[in-house]
Every structure is written in structure tokens, then in C-alpha cells.
Structure 1
Amino acid sequence: MIISKKAIAALTAATVLSLTLGAQSFAADSSFKDIGNVSGKDKINALKQRGLIKGISDTQFLPGGTVTTAQGVQFISGGLQLSLAAIDFNKAPKISTIFPKIKDTAWYAEAFVNAHFNGVDIPADIDPAKPITKELFTSLLVQAVEKAGNLPMINIVPADIADADALNPSYQGSIQRSLKYKINTLDATGKFNPKSQITRAEAAVMLFNALDYLKSVSDGDSITK
């Protein structure tokens, strides 16, 4: 498989274009009805309005539901509108040859294919049914954002994370960048809580923040602010 600079540019342009949909106003019946007391409810409804996330029904989001790895990758792949449109293959990829624990017919197979071939480094032995941790979801989301936006690597002053010793060393860099990009924030005690199992509401808010950051970069804001 060869991914040309032209293909990458096309993917980036398509991603940026999708972000412009955020300016649309809400229809009166477009909101989820079960997120009234949820922090970040406006962000969740904004994603629904853009057609970037779905609930368990048109009016129910189940914000407190635990996110499985399959659902987490779907959030990322669908939310960033990752696709294979700009990538040329000699032969169509089969997900089971890349991720042995995923069936080619699984409802989330396309999301994993799209994420993988757009540069998101998903562990080959990943279990799609297992609840996804905050640190893994953050790592995958940050990778997707940086690839989709063709963002340069940046030098940052690491944030002081109170529970830094609990972080998987492989995810430390992406977690630090997620704080810089304002995708995540630390809790009131300065902890990141990397091993916590995120909820659907938390995943959606992180996705919104990631898209918001990409939009700010496409609008000309400095990445190093």
C-alpha cells in the first residue's frame, strides 16, 4: 500500500471540511432527552446534530454507559470521518488478518479498518469487547487527530499529573498532548485517572474537544499556544 502526499492532503481537506458543519443550528427535536444533567450535554448534542455520533435511539444516548473498545474506536473513526477514500489498495483489506480477535462481519470492523489505515496504532491483540480505559481512548483519539489534521510534532512543557506513576509509559506522550490540545483536563486533585473506564458521555465530550481543536488549527490558531 502506498499513501501519497496528495492522498494525505485530500484526507486532511475532507476532515477539515467536515468540521464546518458545526455551525448549523439545532432543530427543536434534535437533542438527546436523557442528558439533561450531564456535564457537556451541549457538546454531545452538537455531535448528534452534525451526524457524528448516534445514541441507542434517536432520543436516548445512555450517557453513563461504559464504552467498549469497539465502541471507542467507532467514536473516533466515525467522529473524525476516517475513511479509505484517499488510500489505494492492491487488494481490499480484511480486518481479521490485522486484528485476529475481530471478525470481518463485525459491525465495528469498518471502524477498525479505517482507523488502522489512517495511521492510528491499535494493538493487534486488542479485545473489542473489553471496556476501554481513559488512557487508551486518549492515545487512539490523539493519534487520529494528529493524522487527520496532519499536525506537526510539538514540544510542550509536561503538565504535572498527580497520578503520573499510574500511566502506561506508551501513552504518556499522547496524554500530555491531549492536555495541551484541551481534549482532556485533570480532575480537581490533579489526577488523570488513566485506568478508569470512560462513559459514553466522557468519550463524546473528548471527541468534541478534539474536533474543536482541529477546527481552531484550521482557522489559523497557533498549535503552540
Structure 2
Amino acid sequence: MNMKKSALTAITTASLLSFSLGGQIFAAEGSFKDLGSVNGKEKIISLKDQGLIKGVSASQFLPQNKVTPSYQGSIQRSLKYNITTLDASGKFNPKSEITRAEAAIMLYNALEYLKSHSVETPFQE
């Protein structure tokens, strides 16, 4: 039962973050020209290549733009599963804004968690 709750938390977090990152679940054509040396650049590119996020345009991701906080309970539980981390002072601030790059890293980490903790669902035959 605990594994099912863990998987549900990860799926919920991944879903919410993917909607926060762009609304539509498809990638923009081309590559993002504005990632530079942003933390999580490889993860953002991986998510785009998988068709899970898109930029604000074909060439811009705007990694420093803010994402509004939502569903803090799911985000807080994701700490346990290493989907998100605490800030430099060891605090988790669920009401603080996060950047698109930070949200993309959380989405990537949620997907990695799901890959490493696959669980049978009752719908499989």
C-alpha cells in the first residue's frame, strides 16, 4: 500500500509540474537558446526531447520565469522521494515561487523515481 501511495504521489507531482510548465504536453521544435549554464540544463533538454515540456516559444524556455505555487502537500511529500530538495538553508518553502528550470528538474526527478520504483497496477492483465 505504501508503494502505491509513493507512486501516486510521484505521478501527481509529475502531472502538476508538467501542467505548470506549459499547459500543453508537447515539445517545441528546435532547441532552447536561453538555457546557457542554467542548473538542470540537461534535465530540461531531456524532458523536451521526450515531449513532456515545451518552451514559451520554439527557441525560448525562459528558465528564470516563476511558476506559481500549487499543491504544496504533494510537493512536500516529494522531498521524501528526492523529487525536490530543500533550499541552501535547509528549508522547504512551499509558498515561494520557483523557476521553470527548477520545476523541470522536479518533473525529471519524478519521472526517474517512477522508472526506478515501477509498481504493478490493478489494471494490468
TM-score scaled by length of structure 1: 0.37
1:202 partner SS:
helix
Check if 1:46 corresponds to 2:35.
no
Change (3 A) 1:66 1:175: closer
TM-score scaled by length of structure 2: 0.64
Identity among equivalent pairs (%):
65
Query: What residue ranges of structure 2 are gaps of 5+ in the alignment?
Result: 1-10, 12-28, 120-125
The answer as to whether partners of 1:66 and 1:197 remain within 8 angstroms in 2 is yes
Query: What CA deviation, in whole Å up to 9, does each residue of 1:161-187 have, x standing for no partner?
Result: xxxxxxxxxx2xx34421111111112
Check if 1:184 corresponds to 2:97.
no
Check if 1:209 corresponds to 2:85.
no
Check if 1:200 corresponds to 2:93.
no
The answer as to whether partners of 1:30 and 1:49 remain within 8 angstroms in 2 is no
Query: What CA deviation, in whole Å up to 9, does each residue of 1:186-205 have, x standing for no partner?
Result: 12211112221121111111
- Higher mean alpha-carbon deviation, 175-184 vs 49-58, is at 175-184
For 1:31 and 1:183, the matched residues in 2 are separated by 25
1:218 partner SS:
coil
Query: What residue ranges of structure 1 are gaps of 5+ in the alignment?
Result: 1-11, 13-28, 68-131, 140-170, 220-225
For 1:30 and 1:46, the matched residues in 2 are separated by 13
Change (3 A) 1:196 1:176: closer
Query: What CA deviation, in whole Å up to 9, does each residue of 1:105-138 have, x standing for no partner?
Result: xxxxxxxxxxxxxxxxxxxxxxxxxxx22xx25x
Aligned length: 92
Check if 1:36 corresponds to 2:36.
yes
Structure with bigger gyration radius: 1
